[in-house]
Amino acid sequence: MSKVSYYTAEGLKKLREELNYLKDVERPKASQAIGEARDKGDLSENAEYDAAKEAQGLLEMKISKMEETLANARLIDESQLDTSKVLVLSTVKLKNQTNGMEMKYTLVAESEADLKTGKISVTSPIGKGLLGKSVGDVAEITVPNGTLKFDILEITRD
C-alpha cells in the first residue's frame, strides 16, 4: 500500500530535481562503469564488474522508490490551512515549562525536516505531540528521557 506524503512547493521541487539528477547523471555513470569493467576481460572473476552491477541495481532501486514517492506526493495548499490549530506547515512558538525557554518550530513533512532551520517532522515525537493543539494548550510530549511540557504561545503560517 502506497503512503501519501504531503509536500510544500519547495520540497516537491527538491524531490523532482534529485530524481532528475539520478536519472540524467548517475544512471549514465553506472552504465559507463559497467562498460569499462566488462572491457577488462573475463566476467566470471571480475570483481569490478560485479561491484558496478550491484551499484547499478541499488541506483535503480533508489530511482524506483523516489518515483513512487513522487507519484504519491501531494502539494499542500497553504491558503486552506486553519491557523487555530497546529497542522503541517504551522509555525509554532512554544515555551518549555521546565526551563522557561521559548522556541519556534515549523512542522513539515518528514523528508523536509531540518532542525538547523527550525523545521521538524510531523512524525517526530515533538511534531506528533503538537498536532491538533491550539494557542493556550499545554502539549505533553514523551521523549526518551521523560516528559516535556510546552505551552503553545502562537500559531502562524510563514
Q: What is the CATH number of the domain that holds 32?
A: 1.10.287.180
What does the pLDDT profile of the chain (158 residues) look like in tens digits? 456 677 777 778 888 999 999 999 999 999 998 888 888 877 777 888 888 899 999 999 999 988 888 888 777 766 665 566 787 778 889 998 889 899 899 888 777 888 888 888 888 888 888 888 888 888 888 888 888 888 988 888 76
Return the CATH number at 147: 3.10.50.30
Is 85 in the same domain as 142? yes
Query: What pLDDT sits at residue 24?
Result: 93
Is 64 in the same domain as 83? no
Is 62 in the same domain as 86? no
Is 139 in the same domain as 87? yes
Of 52, 75, 98, which marks where a domain is finished? 75
Of 53, 75, 97, which marks where a domain is finished? 75
Of 75, 105, 131, which marks where a domain is finished? 75
Q: How many structural domains is the chain composed of?
A: 2
Is 68 in the same domain as 110? no
- With H, G, I as helix, E, B as strand and everything else as coil, classify residue 71: helix
Is 69 in the same domain as 82? no
Is 124 in the same domain as 85? yes
Query: DSSP string of 48-114?
Result: HHHHHHHHHHHHHHHHHHHHHHHHTEEE--GGG--SSS--TT-EEEEEETTT--EEEEEEE-GGG-B
Is 68 in the same domain as 89? no
| Domain span holding position 132 | 78-156
Query: What pLDDT sits at residue 21?
Result: 93
